[in-house]
């Protein structure tokens, strides 16, 4: 129940921040949110050894994200599933701590943005340059790292009996 609440709050925060912060071509705020994706990274310990439920959550979350914010049906469902697979690999192979979470947030954002860029180029949805991609990545890191660290800190104080694996 708690991971669903965290993900839903993150989804709503994404919408609120996307509507209040400037978001036009070459005019991004340094606080460009990708909060929903970061929440997928942070809540994985609640789904440990429940991979199918975690992947289903990622797909449904991507579908809701598509319907509410991007209007590109199934694009984010596929991308969120790919991010969920990456997150599982991260948690499986490397121990998480306060410093590593920053690196994983950066890796997750870069993976998401590059995947989205590749799909946009393949399907010729809009013209986007590599410079615009790097600009978008650089302008989305600050807020997402802060949010990820705060969420990680909050989840760290939740008793271990509610989490399937420990995060420290």
DSSP string, 67-134: IIII--TTHHHHHHHHHHHHHHHHHHHS---HHHHHHHHHHHHHHHHHHHHHHHHHTT-S---HHHHH
Q: Which pLDDT score is estimated for 86?
A: 93
- Ranges of residues in the chain with a pLDDT under 50 are none
- Condensed to tens digits (0 to 9), the pLDDT of residues 130-149 reads 988 998 898 889 889 999 99
Q: Which pLDDT score is estimated for 12?
A: 93
Q: Which pLDDT score is estimated for 46?
A: 85
Contact (CB, 8 A) for 139 and 29: yes
The domain locations on the chain are: 2-18+34-162
């Amino acid at each position: 129940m708690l991971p669903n609440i965290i993900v839903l709050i993150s989804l709503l925060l994404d919408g609120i921040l996307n509507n209040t912060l400037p978001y036009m071509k070459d005019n991004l705020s340094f606080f460009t949110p990708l909060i929903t994706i970061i929440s997928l990274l942070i809540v994985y310990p609640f789904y440990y050894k429940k991979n199918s439920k975690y992947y289903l959550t990622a797909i449904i979350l991507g579908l809701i994200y598509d319907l509410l914010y991007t209007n590109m049906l199934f694009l984010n469902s596929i991308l969120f599933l790919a991010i969920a697979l990456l997150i599982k690999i991260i948690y499986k192979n490397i121990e998480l701590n306060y410093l590593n979470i920053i690196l994983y947030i950066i890796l997750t954002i870069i993976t998401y943005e590059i995947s989205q860029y590749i799909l946009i180029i393949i399907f010729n949805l809009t013209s986007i340059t590599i410079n615009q991609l790097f600009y978008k990545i650089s302008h989305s890191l600050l807020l997402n790292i802060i949010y990820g660290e705060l969420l990680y800190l909050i989840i760290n104080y939740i008793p271990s009996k509610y989490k399937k694996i420990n995060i420290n």
